[in-house]
A and B are shown apart, each in its own frame.
Chain A
């Protein structure tokens, strides 16, 4: 009788165990980590809104190279005269004469370092950049070449929309040339205005823009 009771007890225990719906550890990480946010992008296409103040429509592309390094290139086209903060506020229009530029183009290359190995998303970065810009009209050309260091932050503001804001500073190398008689200072150099206005000045600025993260794997 005791044996029968013991067997019944063991069976009841086994049955109870079998009936328990015990979860098990799961290695399907994407099921739990997929929150719809593109936090591991390989590319970022961005519109640099800050460039529009200086008259340029600028599109940027950043490519993740390693977990801590990103490379960014951009192309820009001058769409309106724009405002040149440094010329108006600091240099009082004296590094190039009063002239208006209806056209032009720009380009840049930036090397970004993400110290927390979060390239190219949602974290602080340090960058070194080269940026060239050409402003022109029918008779004048004004060129700037900027080399600057930046400290910036990237935000993921929705599932794939990025925001980039950075503070930059460095030297600006500028050159102005014109064939318009009223703007040429030395009449003897009327047809050879090159190198008449050139030099180095300080450049600093706040750059910002919005972009879209691309993940080529998906």
Chain B
């Protein structure tokens, strides 16, 4: 009997142990296709309706030679499409011909719209000084353009040095019924002339000049007919001279365009702060507001401004299944002329009149700040002597410095934008913030002959994540500690986030992170694919430069080594 009891206790203990182990583990499958020779750098990948995948890559082709100081070369962008089966085994590759009437078009984007794929390509006409956007249907079986090229949009293009480059951005509505094209023409970069100490004339470019204040948009329906259009649209508030620059643009399921703008004055002030401008106009930071404008297909529009008194560092627009608008924001707190991120908010707006239906906001949780706030982390690690020194330093601070140091303890110091925002299937808004900062290290070496050499290294830090979920008017938070540094080259994309089954799944550099429905439990999994020891036959080394979440559970990422490539399929079960 006694033996039976012992066995039962051991069995129960084992069961509990296995259960807790299973709970703390995240099931992730990592599979890859065949190694193949690929042309160029991968730009995009799409799931095909017939099964399998199609990727697109861009390469610079041409040639050149040099004789002494004489150098001759000619290169141009060429594009390739690759097809894979469902397991990402390579099937075929073909160069995508983007030539029309002897002119080379530049690939902008391939989008899946309805049941078809469309390729958008542009051309800068130096004679008319315009950049044109064309589209054509794309046959994903033959990997060729199918049908004629049609011109759909145009913006002003200037090749002069002091002008910005013209750009197009293409987006599809959630219900796949509308395509919107936003065009930004070349704008003159305003340079401020300033006088130096010895009265030398200097000019410096103004960051504000690179913001987009005016843009043109075209909305097309399923038949590619333009149903909404406005030229050189500018965000303005009645009876105000404030200028708003475009922060986010999107199209809803009815073809209406939403433009989210940020008051430019805030950025001007922070820039002046960097330049230690003593002008006492920091009170203007109170204008750190966002404006949302909705332009209906009939040309009429409605506008709303974020609540007075609330300061926003960043904001995103989201739509739920019923078209209800969600504005998720990163709230700031003003400390003299600085704005630090201390909270998050969600505004739910009526899609018809943009009236606020629901507001939810919260400061960053104190327990989380203890873990992710650099100031608090440093204080925790201090010994007695260091604390004493810090106290002395604090006493010497000016009022402004003291106020900033105090606010810094309550802020996500290295967060200045929303890294991800989305709505899950329950309509709950999720935002992910990532601590990012740039460290510049300049080192001077002196050799035995006394010659000095200076090198500058840029360390791009991608640190802790802060996860926030708005469930109705409640706000839940959690964090994930990580540290990643990219030397000299910033990451194109630091993470991918998917939402499904109420959970948040994040792929960072080498890890999959999953947070459950109320963010109470955050688990992670170290990806073997990113481990240097994980070798693939036929590839000596491998590195990842691109990845894409194709659905809420699947992320595709190509590993490259020289011209060889292999696609990984990472699935979170």
Interface residues of chain A, those whose CB is within 8 Å of chain B, are 13, 16-17, 20, 22-37, 39-40, 115-118, 121-124, 151, 153-155, 165, 167, 206
20 contacts between A and B (CB under 8 A): A22-B227, A22-B228, A25-B224, A29-B148, A32-B128, A32-B130, A33-B125, A33-B132, A34-B127, A35-B126, A35-B127, A39-B102, A40-B101, A124-B63, A124-B73, A124-B75, A151-B63, A153-B64, A153-B74, A167-B67
Distance, CA A175 to CA B76, complexed state (A): 44
Q: Which residues of A contact B225 (CB under 8 A)?
A: 24-25
Contact partner, B150, options A27, A37, A115, A118, Cβ 8 Å: A27
A204 to chain B, nearest CB (A): 10
Contact partner, A29, options B62, B64, B78, B151, Cβ 8 Å: B151
In the complex, the answer to whether A29 meets B149 with C-beta atoms within 8 Å is: yes
Q: Which residues of B contact A165 (CB under 8 A)?
A: 72
Which A-chain residue is minimally distant from B149 (CB atoms)?
A29
Which A-chain residue is minimally distant from B75 (CB atoms)?
A124
Q: Is the C-beta of B178 less than 8 angstroms from some C-beta in chain A?
A: no
A114 to chain B, nearest CB (A): 10
B206 to chain A, nearest CB (A): 32
In the complex, the answer to whether B65 meets A151 with C-beta atoms within 8 Å is: yes
Q: Which residues of B contact A29 (CB under 8 A)?
A: 100-101, 134, 148-149, 151
In the complex, the answer to whether A27 meets B148 with C-beta atoms within 8 Å is: yes
B231 to chain A, nearest CB (A): 9
Chain B interface residue number, banded: 35 or more
* 6 nearest CB pairs, A to B: A40-B102, A124-B63, A25-B150, A35-B127, A39-B102, A32-B132
Q: Which residues of A contact B224 (CB under 8 A)?
A: 25
A216 to chain B, nearest CB (A): 13
Q: Is the C-beta of B282 less than 8 angstroms from some C-beta in chain A?
A: no
Q: Is the C-beta of B290 less than 8 angstroms from some C-beta in chain A?
A: no
Distance, CA A31 to CA B149, complexed state (A): 13
Given A16-B300, A155-B74, check contact A25 B151 (CB 8 Å).
yes
Q: Is the C-beta of B318 less than 8 angstroms from some C-beta in chain A?
A: no
In the complex, the answer to whether B148 meets A35 with C-beta atoms within 8 Å is: no
Q: Which residues of A contact B128 (CB under 8 A)?
A: 32, 35
Q: Is the C-beta of B488 less than 8 angstroms from some C-beta in chain A?
A: no
B136 to chain A, nearest CB (A): 10
List B residues 389-443 near A (Cβ within 8 Å): none
Interface residues of chain B, those whose CB is within 8 Å of chain A, are 61-65, 67, 72-76, 78, 97, 99-104, 123, 125-128, 130, 132, 134-135, 148-152, 154, 218, 220, 224-229, 297-300
B227 to chain A, nearest CB (A): 7
Q: Is the interface of B mostly helix, strand, loop or mixed?
A: strand
Which B-chain residue is minimally distant from A41 (CB atoms)?
B102
Given A25-B152, A116-B62, A124-B63, check contact A32 B123 (CB 8 Å).
yes
Which B-chain residue is minimally distant from A26 (CB atoms)?
B151
Distance, CA A151 to CA B297, complexed state (A): 55
Distance, CA A25 to CA B151, complexed state (A): 5
Distance, CA A175 to CA B370, complexed state (A): 90
Identify the interface centre among B97, B130, B132: most chain A CB within 10 Å of its CB: B132
Contact partner, A22, options B102, B125, B229, Cβ 8 Å: B229
In the complex, the answer to whether A122 meets B152 with C-beta atoms within 8 Å is: no
Q: Which residues of A contact B62 (CB under 8 A)?
A: 116, 123-124
Contact partner, B78, options A30, A35, A116, A124, Cβ 8 Å: A116
B498 to chain A, nearest CB (A): 34
Distance, CA A35 to CA B298, complexed state (A): 35
Identify the interface centre among B72, B127, B150: most chain A CB within 10 Å of its CB: B72
Given A25-B150, A165-B72, check contact A32 B229 (CB 8 Å).
no
In the complex, the answer to whether B298 meets A13 with C-beta atoms within 8 Å is: yes
Which B-chain residue is minimally distant from A28 (CB atoms)?
B151
Distance, CA A153 to CA B225, complexed state (A): 42
In the complex, the answer to whether B149 meets A23 with C-beta atoms within 8 Å is: no
Distance, CA A13 to CA B299, complexed state (A): 10
Distance, CA A28 to CA B127, complexed state (A): 17
In the complex, the answer to whether A122 meets B74 with C-beta atoms within 8 Å is: yes
In the complex, the answer to whether B299 meets A20 with C-beta atoms within 8 Å is: yes
Q: Which residues of A contact B63 (CB under 8 A)?
A: 124, 151, 153
Which B-chain residue is minimally distant from A15 (CB atoms)?
B298
Distance, CA A155 to CA B72, complexed state (A): 10
Which B-chain residue is minimally distant from A31 (CB atoms)?
B151
B59 to chain A, nearest CB (A): 10
Q: Which residues of A contact B65 (CB under 8 A)?
A: 151, 167
Given A16-B299, A32-B151, A39-B102, check contact A115 B61 (CB 8 Å).
yes
Q: Which residues of B contact A34 (CB under 8 A)?
A: 101, 125, 127
In the complex, the answer to whether B103 meets A33 with C-beta atoms within 8 Å is: yes
Which A-chain residue is minimally distant from B299 (CB atoms)?
A20
Identify the interface centre among A32, A34, A40: most chain B CB within 10 Å of its CB: A32
Q: Which residues of B contact A22 (CB under 8 A)?
A: 226-229
Which A-chain residue is minimally distant from B225 (CB atoms)?
A24
Q: Which residues of A contact B148 (CB under 8 A)?
A: 27, 29
B82 to chain A, nearest CB (A): 19
In the complex, the answer to whether A27 meets B298 with C-beta atoms within 8 Å is: no
B295 to chain A, nearest CB (A): 11
Q: Which residues of A contact B218 (CB under 8 A)?
A: 23
Which B-chain residue is minimally distant from A25 (CB atoms)?
B150
A56 to chain B, nearest CB (A): 21
A31 to chain B, nearest CB (A): 8
Q: Which residues of B contact A116 (CB under 8 A)?
A: 61-62, 76, 78
Q: Which residues of B contact A13 (CB under 8 A)?
A: 298
Distance, CA A29 to CA B76, complexed state (A): 22
